[in-house]
């Protein structure tokens, strides 16, 4: 007969990312956060540990301060413990330790100011653990964090690993680790209350033990189908009553209370890990997202560059400027846009845009401190993306260009600093594991469950029929000034939209040689390479030169192409320069062609920006929207990513007679819709 007391530690985590729509915050508050508080207030004997992320707390302070006051009251009566964490909700493994420490301390300061207590536990976003974290958390004043039971399995802790907490350390700095139960994550709140209680009953032993559930608060109301189940049909109310009814063997505790009253189960050293599903999504290690998605790597390295600039400049900044840069940097480190799992994450362009907006705001402060009001331009040629090859970073007070010579000399970042926009905040269409199941038609209706709502990990849910027909994959990164060159004059808008222009023989994305010049008007780089174009079994050698100029004073980029055949005979060929832009102009939100145009104006009224493209010779223009098929909390869905345009010219290249064309890209406010 089992007689030991089971102490159930209930932890919930509420979060909305930086840049999420205000209506999403409001919906989450109305359907999840507020009704959750209403239920637990009626059951003071049921203790909870609560973490609200920094972005969510900031929104609640501004929009629903009464929620903060309600939690403060629960803290005063000892029912709720509030956990700390990073104020921008970063994955600590992705940011410098100095920023992690600053984030933790800033959020603790805010919680204390809001009378929510001094936290002893730090929330670990996405449970992304690395062995150096004890040193960071202890330096910030924390005693414990929460991992998954999967972490303890990887550490070889054995079958009893999940029934308490363990001690770990880094260089002598110790930290307690509470493992959260994966089984409970899949039961709560998706299965009937009786089934959850029976599961807990089955975990009883002759000695006291703890069982931890630490998971998303949004599953209590915001996830599809859960609002009706959890609140209208009373799942959470019934759960609280059931725990109260079973109090002879089942009691609740906060992490802090259990830590103070019970010894650890032992000592453990956990390898780099997250919850099991995360390993499947990332391909093993969380940082693999940075190789799986080059766009995430570009954004991540941009963030690191701003962090390094801030570290160097901080001693010289005025206090107001230092606080502003720090706040923008920390918000730009919000983790959601840097990876993709079951929610949209990286696939949501507005989240990526928000990260760039914050990082560029921080950069503007740093620029003003370094250059004042004068016009300036600079270039750096170090390995910015960490792939072991130089990158070209052209900067002015108005714009940034990041050019990748190793991958076709494409522009992978084009920042409009004035408006805080990365105009090449784009995404490449690539295979995802769930696409195979979509093709096999292994789909279920979103939100459908047997005895409750379906967990978001159940089956493949779709948001529209025939979604598999929209699975299109790119063979190169969708950036700007992407070069396409082939013999003959074939090519059309449909082939362009599907990423099937006939230019593979030209060696798309092959490396360019480069040189840097610094004229008085700004900075420019000259990129050059040779290619062999094939047609009908005959190869024609050519030399492609691309010169990119960034002005000191004007919000414009000038790209000049020169093509020279190195063969003996003239050859007809076609050049297309592709520009993927993070704009949505309804005039170009379809597949289409403009036969001959010298000027295009592309307007995104939502972002209040217009980009003009002007060519020195009339171009055939192909355009198409780029949409991805990705997973979300609602199921698989199409997501608009960017507008894609190609300006193309047919010409005859002859030996010693180079062909040239110039494209000027300008940025301005307001709205102009024209193709001339």
216 burial type by CB count under 10 A (0-12 exposed, 13-18 middle, 19+ buried) = middle
Tokens of 216: 């998303």
How is residue 512 written in tokens? 């360019």
Measured at the CA of 283, the angle between CA 279 and CA 285, to 5 degrees, comes to 60
Tell me, rounded to whole angstroms, the distance of Cα 522 from its chain centroid.
33
Q: How many angstroms from the chain centroid is the CA of residue 604?
A: 22
If we measure between CA atoms, which residue out of 513, 474, 516 comes closest to residue 629? Answer: 474
Find out whether 673 and 512 touch, Cβ atoms under 8 Å: no
**CA 278, CA 151: separation in Å to the nearest integer?**
12
* Contact by Cβ (8 Å): 560, 656: no
Q: What is the four-CA torsion angle of 549, 554, 556, 561, rounded to 10 degrees? A: -30
Contacts with 312 (C-beta within 8 Å, 6 or more apart), sequence order: none
Instruction: Spell out a b/e string for 489-517, using b for 16 or more CB atoms within 10 Å of the CB, else e.
Output: eebebeebbebebebebbbbbeebebeee
**Dihedral in degrees, nearest 10, Cα atoms 500, 502, 507, 511:** -60
Pairing of strands 209-216, 6-14: parallel
Question: HSE (CB half, 13 Å, CA atoms) of 432?
Answer: 26
Q: Which residues have a Cβ under 8 Å from the Cβ of 156 and sit 6 or more positions away?
A: none
Strand, helix or coil for residue 384? coil
CB–CB of 91/136 below 8 Å?
no
Q: Which residues 6+ apart lie within 8 Å of 275 measured at CB?
A: 126, 127, 148, 150, 182
Cα–Cα distance measured from residue 231 to residue 203, given in angstroms and rounded to the nearest whole number: 27
Enclosing H/E stretch for 573: strand 571-581
Q: Do residues 638 and 629 touch, judged by C-beta distance below 8 A?
A: yes
- For residue 356, give the 3-state DSSP assignment: helix
Q: Which H or E run includes 50?
A: strand 48-52
Residues 6+ apart with CB under 8 A from 359: 302, 303, 306, 328, 329, 332
Quote the tokens at residue 12: 């919930």
Which residues are part of the catalytic machinery?
A: 126, 216
Residue 186 phi, psi (nearest 5): -85, -15
Quote the CA–CA distance of 579 and 648 in Å, as a whole number. Answer: 11
DSSP 506: G
Question: How is 259-288 classified by DSSP, letter by letter?
Answer: HHHS--S-B----SB--HHHHHHHTSSGGG
As a whole number of angstroms, the distance between CA 354 and CA 351 comes to 5
DSSP reduced 3-state for 171: coil
């Amino acid at each position: 007969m089992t007689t030991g007391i089971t102490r159930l530690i209930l932890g919930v985590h509420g979060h909305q990312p930086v840049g999420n729509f205000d209506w999403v915050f409001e919906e989450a508050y109305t359907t999840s956060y507020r009704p959750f508080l209403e239920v637990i207030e009626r059951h003071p004997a049921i203790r909870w540990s609560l973490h609200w992320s920094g972005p969510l707390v900031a929104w609640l302070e501004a929009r629903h301060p009464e929620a903060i006051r309600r939690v403060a009251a629960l803290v005063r009566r000892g029912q709720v413990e509030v956990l700390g964490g990073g104020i921008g909700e970063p994955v600590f493994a992705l940011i410098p330790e100095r920023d992690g420490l600053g984030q933790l301390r800033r959020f603790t300061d805010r919680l204390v100011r809001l009378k929510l207590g001094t936290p002893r536990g730090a929330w670990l976003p996405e449970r992304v653990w690395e062995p150096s974290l004890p040193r960071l958390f202890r330096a910030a004043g924390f005693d414990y964090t929460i991992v998954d039971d999967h972490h303890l399995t990887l550490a070889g802790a054995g079958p009893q690993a999940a029934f308490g907490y363990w001690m770990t350390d880094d260089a002598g700095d110790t930290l307690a680790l509470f493992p959260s139960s994966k089984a409970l994550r899949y039961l709560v709140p998706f299965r009937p209350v009786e089934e959850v209680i029976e599961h807990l009953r089955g975990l009883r032993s002759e000695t006291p033990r703890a069982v931890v559930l630490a998971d998303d608060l949004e599953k209590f109301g915001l996830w599809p189908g859960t609002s009706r189940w959890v609140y209208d049909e009373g799942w959470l109310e019934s759960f609280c009553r059931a725990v109260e009814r079973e109090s002879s063997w089942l009691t609740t505790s906060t992490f802090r209370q259990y830590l103070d009253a019970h010894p650890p189960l032992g000592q453990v050293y956990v390898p780099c890990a997250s919850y099991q599903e995360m390993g499947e999504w990332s391909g093993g290690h969380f940082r693999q997202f940075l190789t799986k998605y080059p766009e995430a790597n570009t954004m991540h390295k941009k963030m690191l560059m701003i962090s390094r600039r801030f570290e160097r400049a901080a001693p010289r900044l005025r206090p107001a400027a230092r606080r502003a840069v720090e706040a923008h940097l920390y918000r730009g480190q919000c983790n959601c846009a840097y990876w993709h799992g079951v929610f949209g994450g990286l696939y949501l362009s507005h989240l990526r845009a928000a990260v760039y907006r914050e990082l560029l705001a921080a950069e503007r402060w740093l620029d003003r401190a370094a250059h004042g009001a004068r016009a300036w331009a600079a270039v750096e040629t170090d390995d910015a993306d960490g792939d072991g090859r130089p990158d070209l970073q052209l900067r002015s007070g108005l714009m940034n260009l990041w050019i990748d010579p190793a991958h076709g000399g494409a522009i992978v970042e084009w920042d409009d600093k004035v408006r805080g926009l990365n105009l090449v905040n784009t995404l490449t269409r690539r295979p995802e594991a769930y696409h195979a199941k979509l093709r096999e038609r292994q789909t279920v209706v979103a939100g459908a469950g047997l005895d409750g709502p379906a967990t978001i990990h159940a089956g493949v849910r779709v948001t529209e029929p025939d979604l598999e027909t929209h699975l299109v994959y790119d063979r190169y990164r969708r950036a700007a000034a992407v070069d396409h060159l082939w013999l003959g004059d074939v090519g059309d808008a449909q082939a362009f939209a599907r990423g099937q222009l006939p230019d593979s023989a030209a060696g798309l994305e092959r490396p360019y040689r480069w040189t840097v010049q610094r004229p008085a008007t700004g900075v420019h780089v000259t990129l050059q390479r040779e290619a062999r174009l094939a047609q009908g079994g005959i190869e024609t050698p050519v030399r492609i030169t691309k010169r990119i100029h960034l002005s000191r004073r004007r919000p414009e980029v000038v790209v000049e192409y020169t093509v020279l055949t190195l063969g003996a005979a003239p050859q007809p060929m076609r050049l297309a320069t592709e520009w993927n832009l993070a704009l949505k102009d309804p005039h170009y939100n379809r597949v289409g062609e403009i036969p001959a145009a010298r000027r295009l104006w592309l307007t995104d009224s939502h972002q209040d920006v217009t980009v003009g493209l002007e060519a020195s010779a009339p171009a055939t223009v192909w355009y198409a929207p780029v949409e991805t098929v990705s997973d979300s909390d609602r199921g698989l869905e199409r997501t608009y990513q960017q507008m894609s345009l190609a300006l193309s010219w047919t010409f005859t290249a002859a030996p010693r007679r180079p062909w040239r064309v110039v494209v000027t890209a300008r940025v301005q406010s307001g709205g102009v819709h024209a193709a001339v």
